[in-house]
Amino acid sequence: MTQVSSAHVVEVAGAPLTVADVVAVARHGAPVRLTDGVLDGLATSRAVVEALADDPVPHYGISTGFGALARRHIPPVRRADLQRSLVRSHAAGSGPEVEREVVRALQLLRLATMATGRTGVRPVTARTYAAMLDAGITPVVHEYGSLGCSGDLAPLAHVALAATGEGPVRDADGVLRPAGEALAAAGIAPLVLAEKEGLALINGTDGMLGMLCLALHDLRTLLTTADVAAAMSVEALLGSDAAFAEDLVALRPHPGQAAAAANLRRLLAGSSIMASHRTLADDGTVACTRVQDAYSLRCAPQVHGAARDTVDHAHAVADRELAAAIDNPVVTVDGRVESNGNFHGAPVGYVLDFLAIAVADVAGMSERRTDRFLDVARSDGLPPFLAHDPGVDSGLMIAQYTAAGLVAELKRLAVPASVDSIPSSAMQEDHVSMGWHAARKLRRALDGLTRVLAVEVLTAARALDLRIATGLPAAAGTDAVRRLVREHVAGPGPDRHLAPEIEAVVGLVRDGAVTRAATDAVGPLT
């Protein structure tokens, strides 16, 4: 895969990166730039480390072993071996390769921590990481190996190993090559690690944080898509929008709930389908004949809104982490080198697990709306399973099975990883966060939510077609999405091969086309 160019240059200046910066570099190949001020700061903190390296008193990570071996003093002649051995031994991952965007996020975030000047690495080390990112050299990192404490050790070690010219990498075109060969082709000299640098390159929460940043970016689109899908379903199921009224929603002042309800009102405005089951009272007020809808329709703002508020909380945690300098030991502002516990992944692990719970619940509600379309007892006059000739045709019967299977998987993925802990390093590391595992399962959960929402959009679009066929135009926002779907998937008719149609709509959800179609029609959605 050729690296995507970007006009967005991400400046690594010691100030916190943003989620958008991480996405730009990790997913879109934006170049990075180290400022002169950062390089000067690195030189200053490096001088502190080099002074301690000459001290006969042992200092952890500089002149000692690591973890449970921290009490062994290492003589100067063996310290290059110490750093090299640390990286080689900790690059112990196993299993499938982790996605390119995750590794690039991890590389960038470790570079950002170096740029704070608190790790004590040399300027050349930071420049090497920046050069690898810009050259599109992506070390091979494996699915298994991190316990999330002391940070993402194994994944980070695979990156550090590649920077020294060892191990496999993917080049900018995605070709698997030896690291030394790829570095040479890009004109990058392999690093020879000095005191403390091996530890500084592997002791951080960068993998789990990178995946959190990517997930937050994707969830913003998916939760707006959930509102779009819910609006399509409320309309096509002849539901009521009365429960979404601003004054009713304001009685419970959660910001996410207010945003979701506002989206639903905007998306449903002007619908002749909605108007078809409203009546005019003697006093001139308009009332809906649908007294009270099922929860999956009526409570969409509450569930989608709670998920939004969870994303906001997770974003606040990510922002704090992006402002952090995570290493052990750390070079303090006043020149001390101190051990600490900031590498523990609990803050990130908790919100990753929290997001997986929200994702499962939003998907579960979406699947319930899909199911209502297919049951003649609950679909208000729509044909069984939305089939063309029920009995001969099965319609979208098995599309709901697919959604149900995905929701079942999402419930399993919602089981928290961060409550687990398996001690390691001869009981020196006797409580770990499992934050990496929380991040890995959240990525799978986001894929599942994407697919469940796609099934609802596909189903609701067919139901809207059937309502429109009776002479009732849909709302501008929902109809724009229906027409988008029709550009890729044919409308109601005899049974066709369904899997490609589902996959086509999955693509529309994943790349944001569904939300763009809606916003083009009704204006910005929150």
Instruction: Provide the 8-state DSSP code for 390.
Output: B
The strand pair at 286-288 and 330-331 is best described as unpaired
- Write phi, then psi, for 28 (nearest 5 degrees): -115, 5
> For residues 463-502, b (16+ Cβ closer than 10 Å) or e, as one string?
bbbbbbeeebebbbbbbbbbebbeeebeebeeeeebeebb
Which of 423, 215, 433, 416 is CA-nearest to residue 345?
A: 433
Please provide residue 464's backbone torsions phi and psi, each rounded to the nearest 5 degrees. Answer: -65, -40
Which uninterrupted H or E stretch holds 82? Answer: helix 79-90
Tell me which residue of 306, 79, 378 sits closest to 199, measured CA to CA.
Answer: 79
Phi, psi of 66 (to 5 degrees): -125, 155
Residue 350 annotated to the active site: no
Distance CA 213, CA 369 (A): 30
- Write down the catalytic residue from 60, 129, 350, 401: 60
Q: Which residues contact 133 (CB under 8 A, 6 or more apart)?
A: 25, 31, 32, 104, 107, 108, 111
What does the angle CA 388 – CA 394 – CA 398 come to, to the nearest 5 degrees?
Answer: 130
* Enzyme catalytic residues: 60
